[in-house]
Chain A
Amino acid sequence: MEDFYKEYILDHYRNPRNFGHLERADAAAEDLNPLCGDKIRFELEIEDGRVKDVRFSGKGCAISQASASMLSESIKGEKLEDVVRMSREAVLENVGIGISPARMKCALLGLKVLKSAALGEIAGWPD
């Protein structure tokens, strides 16, 4: 926990990848973290059942924004059905720093919203 905030987390926080909006989104979803009001929106362009392009937007803490940013990088070209099945462990591994229970929703909000977009309905908290 001492190196709680690694360099790359701050980099993703201050320079989020795939941040903004798509001109034409085939799927989109947004949600709030009820604890803190942090908000994330994911937009997907889908072709042949795969993620062709992605954008995310929103406001929040370094953990939620970096997690969403890294997630957006990791799903380009992936099959939608794989995105829907993505595990919480995969995201936490990607984030790569210890996440305390109090901050778990921050780290997982991006995945919840992404899955909601891919499913076309509100997804539960990833477990």
Chain B
Amino acid sequence: MTISADHTAPHSTSTEAAENALTEAVKKFGITVEDYMLPARHQIQMVDPDGRLIPESEQGTQPGHEYPVPGDDELLAAYERLVVGRRVNDQNSALVRQGRMAVYPSSHGQEACQVAAALCLSDADWMFPTYRDAVAVMTRGVDPVQVMTIFRGDWHGGYDPLQCKVGIQCTPLTTQLLHAVGVAHAAKLRGEDTVVLAMCGDGATSEGDFHEALNFAAVFHLPVIFFVQNNKYAISVPLAHQSVAPSLAHKAVGYGMAGERVDGNDVVALLAVLDRAVKLAREGSGPLLVEANTYRMQAHTNADDDTRYRESAEVAEWRAKDPVTRMRTYLTDRGLLDDDGEVRIREKAEAVATQLRDGLSEDVAVDPQELFRHVFSAPTPQLKEQSAMLADELARDAAASSSDQEAAK
């Protein structure tokens, strides 16, 4: 859809067209719009924690919420990314312990969400991740060392968002959801079929921008998928203190969009639900909210002590639902993965870990003049003055230390 600059748009044509697209989409499922918007009565789960494919009748589905199992190639590719993701998380945590990185909010335990969020998108689509979504960004294809620059401490971001079609990992909670809405809106105005996936955590759903973003996306019928990783905690605060809604996915219906909840440690179910969400969004049926039921296995960051607010028994319970081992069992049992395959995948993971170790152990020289270079497209006279002042200060320091060295000789 393109529109002409001088064209007087009749009121609400675009709105009607979008509503029709939604109605059409729902018709295919043979249910009412309201039933389509409400999540299924249970979370969608396809492979249980023991790695067994769940019979279709027990997958949590009901009319309009049935999802086909993704193809074997897609699942194998996803497994490889899971193994790499786990290795990345553990390598990064080690680098923090070694003092190579200031901080790392690990997604250990949430790798299925990370992987599915990236794999469901096409190259021209966009992703807007949070601080915890480094693995999702790498799975999207962004260079791992560039991704970790934000935590290495030499700049606030290491990759080019326009080139990667990934927003800079965002810290102010849910503010990035509105950027996702804007990117989708601009694309829609130009008639492009870009889909945007916007990520946030369970605690973040209490923020005002969460509400504003979902409402804007719904009102403007934009192809945005809001992907909430419900890992049960916002630092120390459990979900019960954030919301008493039946589920976070239920929030969708209040905005007039569809919501679904899915087992966030089951990459098969995640891919099935997200693939359909992307397809529907691309076809013009508007935004969707997907809640992934998962768990943050480690502390919020290395600076946090999770023993102060949760029981180790709870953590152990979730360890048994691990997304990586579950998938390994499933693929092995189906004969899609053997020992050779496993070795090959582990080698790939090791290569990424080596890349991270090498990249982050390097002492990158920082240029103090960079402070002034990027504030505006061209520095103001005031910034030029301050830049000259710092240059002079550094020159005098250098001169003083070289004359000290002379004197010592």
The answer to whether A binds B is no
Residues of A within 8 A of B (CB): none
